[in-house]
Structure 1
Amino acid sequence: MREAAERMRTLAAAWSPAEFERSYAPGKWSARQIFIHLAQTELAFGNRARMAIATPNYTAQPFDQDKWMAKESSTGGREAFEALVAANAFNRAFFKSLSPADRAAPFSHPEFGALTVDWLVHQMAGHLIHHLVQLEQIART
C-alpha cells in the first residue's frame, strides 16, 4: 500500500488542474476522478475494517461508485489527491497496529459473502495498484 501511495504522490505532486483532467482513454475516468474514487474507497474500506473489528456480526453495506462520483463534481484533483494521501496514511497506521486476531475479524458483505479484515486489507492494496496503472498511463500522455 505504501509503495503505491508513494508512486501516486510522485506522479501527481506537480500536476496542474488541467493535468488532473486528463484520462488514459476516451470515456474513462480522469485522474481527478480516479483520485476522488480512491479517496472515497479508502474512507469506505477503512471504515469497514474498523466496524468489522468493533462490531460483532458486522455486515458491510455496498455502495454505487458511479452515484458517489456524481456527487463529487466540484471536488478538485489536488483536493482529492490530498484526501487520498491523508486517508491512506491513516489506514496504514491503523492496519499496522492490528493483531492477528484483529486481522482475522470476520464480517459479511451482501455481494461477496463472508470476509475478513485481512482480506479487505489485501483488496485495498490491489485496488490502489489497479488505479496506479491507470494514473501511470495518464502521466505518459
Structure 2
Amino acid sequence: MPRVSILDCSTSFSPFAPFAFGIQDRHFQICYALIVERTIPKRKEPAMTPEERSTLIALYVAGFDEVVKALDGFPASSLSAHPIPGKWSAREIIHHLGDSESTSAFRLRKLLVEDNPVIEGYDQDQFAEKLHYNDRDMAPALEAFRAARVTTAQLFDVMKEEDWKRSGVHTESGPYSVEKWLTIYADHAHNHAAQIQRLKDAL
C-alpha cells in the first residue's frame, strides 16, 4: 500500500480506537501507530550494556545452527505431522522462520536507514494458512532463514553506538527500538528449535 503520512490520519483517534475501528485495517494500524507515537510519551527503556548486547548477538548468531540441530533425525515422513494438537508442524515452523526472519531483517534495516519508521505487524497464523506452509518444500525457507541471519549478523559488525539507539514505532506494540528488536529476535530461533525438539519427542 502507499506510504502513509501523519497528515493522512485523523487526529481524532484515541488510544482506545483499535477496539472501535478494528485492528485488522492496515491503513488504520499505520495511522494509529503514527498518532500514538506522537501523543503518548515514550517510556524510556533500560539502557542495554555492551555485555548484554554481546550476549544477545551471540545468541542470535547461533540460532540457525540450533534449528538445524533440532531437525537432525526428524523423520522426513513426519515433517508435516501435528503430534502436539494445536501446534505447528516442523515444516510449518521452518516456513515461519523463513518468512519471520526475512521480515525481521527488513525491520532492522528500516530502523537503521529511516528516521522513526513505522514497523508493520502481521498475522503469523494467517501466513501459515494462506501461504500453505504445510504443503511446500521447506528447503528454500530454511535457506531464506539462514541468509537473513548471516546478512543481518554482518550489520552488527559495522553498526555504530548511535545505531543501537535508533527507533521507530510498531503498528501493534508501539515504540520499537533497535535494542528491542535484538531482544525479541535473539532467542527467536532457539525457541522454535525447542519446539521442533518437542515435536520430535512426541512422534
TM-score normalised by the shorter chain: which range applies? 0.7 to 0.9
1:80 paired residue among 130, 135, 141: 141
Which residue of structure 1 lines up, in the alignment, with residue 189 of structure 2? Answer: 128
Residues 82-135 of structure 1, C-alpha deviation per residue, up to 9 Å, x if partnerless? Answer: 221222222222233222211211111122111211210221112222212101
Q: Are 2:174 and 1:113 equivalent residues in the alignment? A: yes
> Which stretch of the first structure deviates more once superposed, 54-63 or 65-74?
65-74
Q: Which residue of 1 aligns with 2:118?
A: 59
Q: Which amino acid aligns with 1:118?
A: E
Q: Output the CA distance in 2 between the equivalents of 1:82 and 1:15.
A: 18
Task: Name which of 46, 50, 56 aligns with 2:105.
Answer: 46
1:107 is paired with a residue whose SS is strand
Pairwise CA RMSD: 1.9
Which residue in 2 is equivalent to 1:68? 127
SS of residue matched to 1:56: coil
Distance 1:97 1:14, change over 3 A: farther
Larger RCO of the pair (alpha carbons < 8 Å, separation 6+):
1
How many Å separate the matches in 1 of 2:68 and 2:153?
15
Contact 1:21 1:31 in 2 (8 A): yes
Change (3 A) 1:36 1:13: same
Q: Which amino acid aligns with 1:129?
A: H
Consecutive aligned runs of 4 or more in structure 1 exceeding 4 Å deviation: 13-16
- How many pairs are equivalent? 141
Percent sequence identity over aligned pairs: 23
Distance apart, 1:25 and its partner CA: 0.7
- TM-score, length of structure 2 as denominator length: 0.62
**1:12 match:** 71
Residue number among 81, 94, 100 corresponding to 1:35 in the alignment: 94
Unaligned runs of 5+ in 1: none
**TM-score, normalising length from structure 1?**
0.86
- Pair member with larger Rg: 2
Distance 2:144 2:73 in 1: 16
CA contact 1:17–1:78 (8 Å) conserved in 2: no
**Secondary structure of 1:94's aligned partner:** helix
Q: Distance in 2 between matches of 1:18 and 1:97?
A: 43
Unaligned runs of 5+ in 2: 1-59
